[in-house]
Amino acid sequence: MPRFVPVICAALAVFFCAATGITEQSLFGTILEDRFYGFFLRSYPLFLFAIAYGTASIVAAATDEPKPHAPTRALTGALALALFLVACLYPTFGGVVLRSGYAVGSMSALRGQSPGLALVLGAGMAALSFAAVLGLCTAIARLRIRTSRRALARAAASVLALWIGALILECPGWLGFDLLAGFPVRPLGWIRALAVAGVVAAAALPHALVAASFAR
Per residue in 12-65, pLDDT (tens digit) is 999 999 999 999 999 888 888 888 888 999 999 999 999 999 999 999 888 876
Position 11 scores a pLDDT of 97
Residue 21 is classified by DSSP as T
131 versus 113: the higher-pLDDT residue is: 131
Cα 47 from Cα 100, distance rounded (Å): 14
Cα 170 from Cα 27, distance rounded (Å): 25
* pLDDT tens per residue across span 158-208: 999 999 999 999 988 776 677 888 899 999 999 999 999 999 999 999 999
Position 76 scores a pLDDT of 87
Give the number of C-alpha atoms closer than 13 A to the C-alpha of residue 165, restricted to the C-beta side.
Answer: 32
* Alpha carbon 135 to chain centroid, angstroms: 12
Q: Could you tell me the pTM of the whole model?
A: 0.93
Most confident listed range (2-6, 75-79, 193-197): 193-197
CB atoms within 10 A of CB 203: 25
Q: What is the largest CA-CA distance in the chain?
A: 57
Residue 180, phi then psi, degrees to nearest 5: -95, -10
Position 67 scores a pLDDT of 56
Q: Which residues of 103-133 are buried (b: 16+ CB within 10 A; e: fewer)?
A: ebbeebbeeeeeeeebbbbbbbbbbbbbbbb
pLDDT above 70 for 150: yes
Q: Are 196 and 179 in contact (CB under 8 A)?
A: yes
